[in-house]
Chain A
Amino acid sequence: MKLVLLSDIRANLPALETALADIDSSKPNAVYYLGDLLGYNVWPNEVVQAI
């Protein structure tokens, strides 16, 4: 069983997009986000929507 865990995206949309592409290709059984989606960059809404 493969679980993906990630956190502290910090409104960084390019980083999140790259992570999501990587995660999709590895086909995990579940994905969990451990918070701090926002802050320190300009894409807070985009990051919330993507997740």
Chain B
Amino acid sequence: MKIALFSDIHANLPALEAFFKDVDSRKPDAIYCLGDLVGYNIWPNEVTNEIRKRNISTIAGNYDFGIGRTSNDCGCAYKTDLEKANGSVSISLTNSLMKDEERAYLRTLPAHIKVEYQLNEDKLNLLLVHGSPRKINEYLFEDREEKSLLRIMHDADADILCFGHTHKPYHRILEETDGHKTRYRHAINLGSVGKPKDNDPRGCYVMLHIHENSSVLYLESVQVEFIRFEYDIEKAAKAVEESILPNDYAENLRRGY
């Protein structure tokens, strides 16, 4: 079984179109979007409509939550004054571009999707969130302490936890021993389709491979493939430069930062 998962498009239509072309050619059994459709570029309506048109099961990101409610707060953790100033231009532009129907759609997006697979005598829980199961805008970075990550997944009853928000992809396998049995939990950050920050400017998404005869007791039951795809970065960067958005965002796209 092949499940495609993507997130953090951030109004980057050229990246989304290239993603669809790539993912369609791989024929996944299911496809899920983990939010942050809008912000930081000029195509929030177009991105929303492309996803909606395809009936893709989608959850809300923090940016979608803010824009859906015409808020000036996207729940982003900007550190410097420059980041804050840039961020406020982005949210105000996005609010002014967003049309009523597309904004209403953002408000309908749920916080989580939980998918329970039936595997032989066992079950496998796949939990999809934007930031973390506890908070839409909590950052789960790769260096999160193992005990903390395991506790979050245990409390959420997630065998596989998929999330985005940091724009930095990773897959961590966490071992949990219960009595004499060892089970495996998988924490997967999808990276970002339209605003990668891991110094690779190509778009990023995940293809999750779950073996039909699998179980949480086998490490190899779940395989995670990070797929990078080329897209017209210049088109997306020029769109930023020709808008009122800060030119920093264009440079970030070119550098993958």
Contacts and interface: CB of A to CB of B under 8 A. Distances in A.
Contact of A31 (B55, B105, B107, B108): B55
Interface string B91-122: 00000000000000101100000000000000
Interface string A1-18: 100000000000000000
Interface of A: 1, 29-31
Contacts of B57: 30
A27 to B, nearest CB: 10
Interface string B43-59: 00000000000010100
A29 B105 CA distance: 7
Contacts of B107: 1
Contacts of B108: 1, 29-30
Q: Is the interface of B mostly helix, strand, loop or mixed?
A: helix
Contacts of A29: 105, 108
A1 B108 CA distance: 6
Nearest to A29: B108
A34 to B, nearest CB: 13
A30 B108 CA distance: 9
A38 B236 CA distance: 45
A30 B57 CA distance: 8
Contacts of B55: 31
Contacts of A30: 57, 108
A32 B57 CA distance: 10
Contacts of B105: 29
A1 B68 CA distance: 13
B128 to A, nearest CB: 14
A26 to B, nearest CB: 14
Interface in B108-151: 108
